[in-house]
Amino acid sequence: MPVLSKDKRHAVQFTLNGEAVDGFVEPRLLLADFLRHHLGATGTHVGCEHGICGACTVRIDGKAQRACLTLAVQVDGRSVDTVEGMAAPDGALSPLQQAFHENFALQCGFCTPGILMSMEEFLETNPDPSDAEVREALSGNICRCTGYAEIVAAVLQTAKQLREAPTQGSE
Amino acid sequence: MKPAAFDYLRAETLDEALEAMSEFGDDAKVIAGGQSLMPMLNIRLVKPAILVDISRVVVLDYTKTNHKRFEIGGIVTQGHLAKSGALQGIVPLLAKALPHIGHFQTRNRGTVCGSLCHSDPSSEIPLCLATLGGTVVLKSKRRERTVDAQDFQIDMLTTDCRPDEIAVAASFPTSDDNTGYAFSELARRHGDFAIVALAAVATGDTIRLGVGGVAATPTVREWSGLSPADLEDALNEFAWDLGGSDDIHATARYRREIVRRMGAKVIQEASDARAQ
């Protein structure tokens, strides 16, 4: 592959929530900024911009990762999922989103997209987590409103619900 | 916080990456997972002229066991290893340390060799490599060489990796019979940088203790045939030798006290594991 010059914009294309998207980007452009500013997908939030807060967490090829620690050029050809892809086309919330709603697991909502993307992968890899496991998995996302208790309750409720009726799952 | 502008090369083959490192040297930075490098780019602590991305160099995505060594290719992620149940039986110390590295979202991307090259003093993987006496394989267009952990980590954030070289693999000694391993660390929040990290290996009456987060590089000491009272003195002496410095998270004195107290615990845990 040729060197992509810093002075130019380069074609990048990938799948976002199941749909093909593309754009022209400088090599240094962060995936988080590409999603928000180029594609208008502002569901992904940007907090600390150095990987600590977890607000920008998206799923790349299914794995939860920081969009602020990823360059847009790096996801060329990959599949990216963001919070915008969670609800059904008719607006019906996913089981995890519904549980957040019912448990009052968000207040200002700034951290919520990152937490949803993180917990979606977590529940796929660990369908029957303990309270302690949920708390440890949440350690990579900072919420300054809730105190986490409601978020833990929402995740545990979703896990139980998906175990009892797995076909209702979002994935 | 946005990175300063840089050129970007996504290498498709190892030769392409090595060719670029030979051409650009000091002006280039290798990126694999980028979980340490990207924050430094965002904060502009690092401003390379060109970023050489090796994350799609598939020949570096492997692990293999050979002659009592477990070799991990240059782009194998921490998350991939953590999910492999087999690691516990092959390199138990590393298996115990992995869950402490950042968060699962950063482990999904962060690599073992990248962590070694970043060489943060409190980092878990360099500590495991130093404690077990592992090696790093460095490759350039001209040659390939294997460097011992203690020679690889020169100072805080500084390694023996030369400007034209890429760390293509890390090699850890596999677990020995009748040997116990233990890992523990103290951090403010799970996954944060360790204030002090400790790794212990117990074989026969020999104890090896590695400490990260206190001195500029992981530091390892080995003792044989110590009585419990001798061990207390030995830990105290080790803590003083490590020195350490004050920062926003803890004072040097606090760190030394953690080495004494958690050091004794982690040694006990390794000794108990050996007995089983």
CATH number for the domain including A33? Answer: 3.10.20.30
Do A107 and A148 belong together in one domain?
Answer: yes
Is position B2 within any domain?
A: no
- As for how many domains chain B has, the answer is 3
* Shortest Cα distance, chain A CAs vs residue B115, angstroms: 15
A36-40, B127-131, B228-232: least confident range: B228-232
Closest CB to B191 among A5, A118, A140: A140
Whether B263 and B183 have beta carbons less than 8 Å apart is answered as: no
Residue B189 pLDDT = 84
Is position A39 within any domain?
A: yes
ipTM confidence? 0.94
Whether A46 and A55 have beta carbons less than 8 Å apart is answered as: yes
Do B29 and B102 belong together in one domain?
Answer: no
pLDDT < 50: residue spans in chain A: 169-171
The bridge status of strand A10-16 relative to strand B28-31 is unpaired
Residues sharing a CB contact under 8 Å with residue B9, sequence separation 6 or more, in sequence order: A1, A2, A3, A4, B16, B17, B20, B50, B51, B52, B53
Is position B167 within any domain?
A: yes
Q: Which helix (H) or strand (E) holds A63?
A: strand A63-66
Q: Which helix (H) or strand (E) holds B139?
A: strand B135-139
For residue B64, pLDDT over 70 is answered with: yes
Residue B106 pLDDT = 97
Selected residue with higher pLDDT from A61 and B84: A61
> Which residue range forms the structural domain that includes residue B45?
7-53
Do B262 and B231 belong together in one domain?
Answer: yes
Do B141 and B239 belong together in one domain?
Answer: no
Do B65 and B82 belong together in one domain?
Answer: yes
- What is the Cα–Cα distance from B144 to B137, expressed in whole angstroms? 7
Name the percent of chain B lying above pLDDT 90.
93
> Which residue range forms the structural domain that includes residue A161?
95-165
pLDDT digits (tens, 9 = 90+) for A102-114: 999 999 999 999 9
Mean pLDDT of B264-275: 93
Do A50 and A108 belong together in one domain?
Answer: no
Is position A50 within any domain?
A: yes
Do B39 and B68 belong together in one domain?
Answer: no
B103/A139 touch (CB, cutoff 8 Å), yes or no: yes
Mean pLDDT of B140-150: 97
Is position B107 within any domain?
A: yes
Do B33 and B130 belong together in one domain?
Answer: no
Residue B276 pLDDT = 60
- As for how many domains chain A has, the answer is 2
- What is the Cα–Cα distance from B255 to B233, expressed in whole angstroms? 17
Residue A169 pLDDT = 47
For residue B10, pLDDT over 50 is answered with: yes
Mean pLDDT of B3-20: 98
Is position A145 within any domain?
A: yes
Do B75 and B164 belong together in one domain?
Answer: yes
Is position A90 within any domain?
A: no
For residue B138, pLDDT over 80 is answered with: yes
Average pLDDT value for chain B: 96
- What is the Cα–Cα distance from A142 to A144, expressed in whole angstroms? 6
Mean pLDDT of B24-40: 97
What residues of chain B lie within 8 A of the CB of A51, using their CB? 35, 38-39, 106
pLDDT digits (tens, 9 = 90+) for B246-260: 999 999 999 999 999
A33/B4 touch (CB, cutoff 8 Å), yes or no: no
> Is some CB atom of chain A closer than 8 A to the CB atom of B46?
no
Per the DSSP assignment, residues forming a β-bridge with B222 are B208
